[in-house]
Structure 1
Amino acid sequence: MIKTRLHPAWFVAAVAFIALVGAAGFRATPSVMIGPLHDEFGWSTATISAAVSVNLLLYGLTAPFAAALMDRFGIRRVIMAALVLVSVGSGLTVLMRQSWQLVLLWGVLVGLGTGSMALGFVATITGRWFVKHRGLVTGVLTAGGAAGNLVFLPVLASLTTSHGWRVAALTVAAAALAVVPLVWWRLRDHPAELDIAPYGGEFTQPAPIAAAGAARTALSALREASRKRAFWLLAGGFAICGATTNGLVGTHFIPAAHDHGVPETTAAGLLALVGMFDIVGTIASGWLTDRVDSRILLGGYYFLRGMSLLVLPSLFAATVHPSMVLFILFYGLDWVATVPPTVTLCREYFGERGAVVFGWVFASHQFGAAAAASAAGLLRDQLGSYNAAWYGAGALAVLASLLSLMLFAGKRLKPIAPGIGLATTPSAAQPQAAR
């Protein structure tokens, strides 16, 4: 019998998946703490949402610099440092007494840590380690974010209800530290370290030459990308993606459901179901991205999301009805299905700098999320309900669909030559660029 050795790329992907699961769970924690923090400290929803907004903003803004830091210092060192930062930020919240401390700890420290394990990390891993099945692996790793919600949210909601929010915060701190040894053991920076080709590649690629400065690399990529119309269309659509997922639903679904008499643990369970269905939807999206034009996929995903948000206000009730479960299923399938086609389009338009450029596109995602988190909190305080936020988000999602379809405008370019961090996938064979 011939024994086949599993390619090391799969071990790297597995560790990356675990880190992404943790990062998603760490970011989701504030959604179950809005009520308890309000009850204990008397802070308004808008005040607590401000800390969440800082977290979301830094989560996105850190991504392009983290991708550049991974080129400079290596993936493993950056991810280990990020996990330690998350642990410190979450653990110290048990000592806070003022709202600015929440902003500093959960907003700044945890935001920086989780931002280093954002989707720019996914683009870097798949760009270096995979040629074959790159879209599918992107979908699987992106689904790690959904799995984080699935694993952490019900547990943290239960801990918060039965033992208080401090126990939940310490649980996050311990979980982040527990991943550090695994990252040190199995995560590798580049296939060249092991003198092998990426999975599906035909030759060993040289490791990338470390740039002189991560900030310079990130800003240079932004400067070059910003000259293309395609960048602004992708960034605009992804900003709306962030506003309609992490910023609004991820942050405010639980308190919105609680406004209608739904217990927080039940609402957290519903949000966890979104994560479970998103695993299926995102993996399927990765599979489709290898076969269908990414522009068509994005246009369809955003339009369907907009329609679902427009009907959401009518679905809230004191008890969970089948119609709400149907929304959870549908919305979950679409939650971050936008990521694989967006990563692919960044690679098509921007070549070897696709991972860093995607970091900037992802930063726009988090700008949108931060704005939506704050705006929804203010609307809730001023109007007494979240209805205006849901309707506004639905309209924005339809706009994102139009922005995605506008990517079809422009001339076709010659195929981009294979290089470091660039796939020769069918979807990249005839890239388009918009002026």
Structure 2
Amino acid sequence: MTQTTTPPPVGRTSARRPRIHPAWWVAGIAFVTIVGAAAFTAAPGLLVGPLHEEFGWSRGTIGAGITLQLALYGLTAPFAAALMDRFGIRPVVAVALTMITLGSLGTVWMSESWQFVLGWGVLVGGGSGCMALAFGATITTRWFDKRQGLVSGLLTAGGASGQLIFLPVLAVLIGEFGWRAASVTIALVAAVIPFVLLLLRDYPADVGLAPYGASQIVPRPAPATGAALRTVRVLGMAMRTKAFWLLAGAFAICGITTNGLIRTHFVPAAHDHGMATVAAASLLAVIGIFDVAGTIFSGWLTDRFNPVVLLGVYYSLRGISLIFLPMLLAPEVHIPMVFFIVFYGLDWVATVPPTLALCREVWPEDAPIVFGWVLASHQVGAGLVAWVGGVVRDVTGSYDLVWYAAGALCAAAALMSLVVPREPMGQA
């Protein structure tokens, strides 16, 4: 007797069509998970000052731990995408949340810098990478045949905005109760999210439906074996193409100018100019609010316009804004700074939907894994500047040189994006 859980054959449509396609519920659950995961990567930028004051560690030393966190956040993503193909989404995310809980809670009792590197760098970095943008790419690719640009923009906004919106909350906790309160809070958030994951499903076929916008049900594929080998094989295939190096290089600059520079060093840079930490963190939260609109709108544009042109525009505008930033930092928040925050928020990760769209065009069968490797370059770039920015501040006493260099890099990213070839490649 056939079990009721067996999906209908390919070519048949579901007899019962819900008024709201479950793909949107899955996207909503993924959004909540990504926003929660963002809290785990939000804190290090706020810890630079308190850890320097309590333990006497240099900003370069603290930046090294943040560098490792950001790098592992990206390097874990492509393997996580392959592991989700092998074991399913929920087991992979559950292990990741356990790592984050242990890493953040363990730092409460740390006394040496290597313990910070292990807790925040290795455990939190590796765990949060499993719920990075490659997770969103997996959801988008599996559940949506249409509106992929819009959904990728929505999920991207959840991650980037969650990081920034949590900052003022964590800043208040650190100001009132010390940095350890932020570590405990993050551990508690990680323990709650698994309840949300109980509602998540891996494939539309699990509920007897076609992906959103498709007319036919696609059966759940057999578990993919050799996840790690496949991940490396896909990387080797992608590295033989010009498109990969251009996308990865431009996206590395994206990471340099967002997570690595603004998210990590904006608060201490503003504090150098006399601005209160909570006020600076609140400005980052405003970036997060406008990032939601900017990234979703970018997804909408990606469904309608050439993603190569969109990337060129985004990087050009970001570079111009960074060159003006050193002139805007002051003890008080003035109107020009508000303009910068709004402008930068709209552009924060607007680059993700067109980048993911190009990965789907060039590598249609392996897009989530290839995008995971492109994301790895984003985080490696971010991690490098998290460390370099701290060293420049230690040596020169100012962040100005870093802002100007980042603006020049954005110009290079714009040029790289405009020449990305779009011919489809085969499966690895």
Asked if these proteins are the same fold (TM beyond 0.5), I'd say yes
Give CA deviations for 1:120-139 in whole Å, capped at 9, x if unaligned: 11110000001121110110
Give CA deviations for 1:241-286 in whole Å, capped at 9, x if unaligned: 0001000111000000000000100000001111111001000000
3-state SS of paired residue (1:407): coil
Q: How does 1:30-429 map to 2 (within 5 A)?
A: 30-183=44-197, 185-407=198-420
1:9 matched to 2:23: yes
Give CA deviations for 1:389-418 in whole Å, capped at 9, x if unaligned: 00000000110000000115x7x569x9xx
**How much identity, in percent, do the aligned residues show?**
57
Q: CA deviation at 1:5?
A: 3.2
What number of residue pairs does the alignment pair up? Answer: 412
Give CA deviations for 1:76-111 in whole Å, capped at 9, x if unaligned: 111122122111111111011100000000000000
Native 8 Å contact 1:242 1:369 kept in 2: yes
Q: Distance in 1 between matches of 2:309 and 2:271?
A: 37
Native 8 Å contact 1:149 1:271 kept in 2: no
Native 8 Å contact 2:42 2:164 kept in 1: no
Q: CA deviation at 1:179?
A: 0.6
Native 8 Å contact 2:165 2:286 kept in 1: no
Q: CA deviation at 1:187?
A: 0.9
5+ long unaligned stretches in structure 2: 1-15
Q: CA deviation at 1:151?
A: 3.5
Aligned residue type for 2:89: I
Q: Distance in 2 between matches of 1:138 and 1:10?
A: 12
Change (3 A) 1:39 1:130: same
Partner of residue 25, structure 1: 39
Aligned residue type for 2:72: L
Q: Distance in 1 between matches of 2:336 and 2:222?
A: 54
Q: Distance in 1 between matches of 2:54 and 2:229?
A: 44
5+ long unaligned stretches in structure 1: 420-435
Partner of residue 423, structure 1: none
Give CA deviations for 1:214-254 in whole Å, capped at 9, x if unaligned: 11110011011111100000000000000010001110000
- Report which stretch shifted further, 36-45 or 187-196: 187-196
CA RMSD of aligned residues (A): 1.6
Native 8 Å contact 2:165 2:284 kept in 1: no
Native 8 Å contact 1:146 1:274 kept in 2: no
3-state SS of paired residue (1:33): helix
Q: CA deviation at 1:3?
A: 9.9
Q: Distance in 2 between matches of 1:87 and 1:198?
A: 34
Which TM-score applies when normalising by structure 1? 0.92
Q: CA deviation at 1:145?
A: 1.5
Change (3 A) 1:3 1:74: closer
Q: Distance in 2 between matches of 1:107 and 1:201?
A: 41
Which TM-score applies when normalising by structure 2? 0.94
3-state SS of paired residue (1:307): helix
Native 8 Å contact 2:132 2:159 kept in 1: no
